[in-house]
Amino acid sequence: MAYTSEELKWSIISTWKQCKDISATARQLKLSRKVVSRWVTRYTDTGCVTQALKSGRKPALSPAAAEQALQLLLAKGSSGAQGVALQLHQQGLTPTKCHKTTIIRAAKKVAQQKGQSIQAFRGKPAKRLTQDTKSKRLSFCTSNNSRSWANVMFTDRKKSLFSYPDKKKGPDLNPIENVWSNVQAQVNSLGCKTFEEFNAAVTQQFKCVPKAMLENLIESMGSRTALAIQAGGDKTPY
């Protein structure tokens, strides 16, 4: 609905009173017949053209639910707005599972009332490793903890004589991923515009990887496996 100023509303009523015809009023003021009819009807029904006050939609979250949403979002290991929405519903604080935007908006409002400021960041939280994956990683690290890594071929190929845990779940145990990250950063900075430029840049950047970097990555394998063993097969800072 287009906005109609108070001045124009009363101009509609004044013109209509003179000609007593909605179509004529619309033509004279160069407005649509629908707009003129709306405000004439409002005037004849209520005696004024003031917009009727509305109660508004009932908040999806009660004050208690909004407070709980804030605490759950700020808690360590929070599962994010979607997880909090599910928790509130399971706790009986909301009749249905609310949308994540509703949760964030309510939590921000509560925080603002307390003089706090919180920010919502989009993105999926890092997936946790399953116990089965942790066991495989732990077995891999235990078996190779005392290995000399200087003569090992590091690769991201699935079929290799030397088998790694799934690289998607164990990139910290394969330094080739660090090499890829370094090359990708260098290639991105070049701003290649064609596939030929991109292909040539990748090849060139691999040739330019510092030997010292490769040696440091190989030497880090002992620390990587040791940390993974200490963590029970869980992820490491690498």
- What's the mean per-residue pLDDT of the chain? 84
CB 157 within 8 A of CB 213: no
> What are the domain boundaries of the chain?
6-46, 63-113, 131-230
> What pLDDT score does 5 carry?
86
Torsion of CA 110, 114, 115, 118, to 10 degrees: -40
Residue found by looking up tokens 């100023």 in the block? 5
CB 166 within 8 A of CB 144: no
Does position 52 have pLDDT exceeding 70, yes or no?
no
What is the C-alpha to C-alpha distance for residues 8 and 25, in angstroms, rounded to an integer? Answer: 12
Tens of pLDDT, residue by residue over 75-93, are: 877 778 888 999 999 999 9
**Residue type (1 letter), 203:** T
Confidence of residue 22 (pLDDT cuts 50, 70, 90): very high
What is the C-alpha to C-alpha distance for residues 120 and 118, in angstroms, rounded to an integer? Answer: 7
> What pLDDT score does 75 carry?
86
Tokens of 31: 């407005």
> What pLDDT score does 1 carry?
55
Does position 67 have pLDDT exceeding 50, yes or no?
yes
Higher pLDDT, 15 or 166: 15
Does position 154 have pLDDT exceeding 90, yes or no?
no
> What pLDDT score does 160 carry?
44
14-28, 147-161, 179-193: least confident range: 147-161
What is the C-alpha to C-alpha distance for residues 100 and 155, in angstroms, rounded to an integer? Answer: 40
- Mean pLDDT, range 87-109, rounded to an integer: 90
Confidence of residue 125 (pLDDT cuts 50, 70, 90): low
- What one-character-per-residue DSSP string does the chain give? -----HHHHHHHHHHHHHH--HHHHHHHHT--HHHHHHHHHHHHHHSS-PPPP---PPPSS-HHHHHHHHHHHHSTT--HHHHHHHHHHHTTSSSSPPPHHHHHHHHHHHHHHTT-------SPPPPPPPHHHHHHHHHHHHHHTT--GGGPPP---SS-SSPPS-TTT-GGG-THHHHHHHHHHHHHHHT--SHHHHHHHHHHHHHTS-HHHHHHHHHTHHHHHHHHHHTTT-----
Residues 6+ apart with CB under 8 A from 31: 12, 25
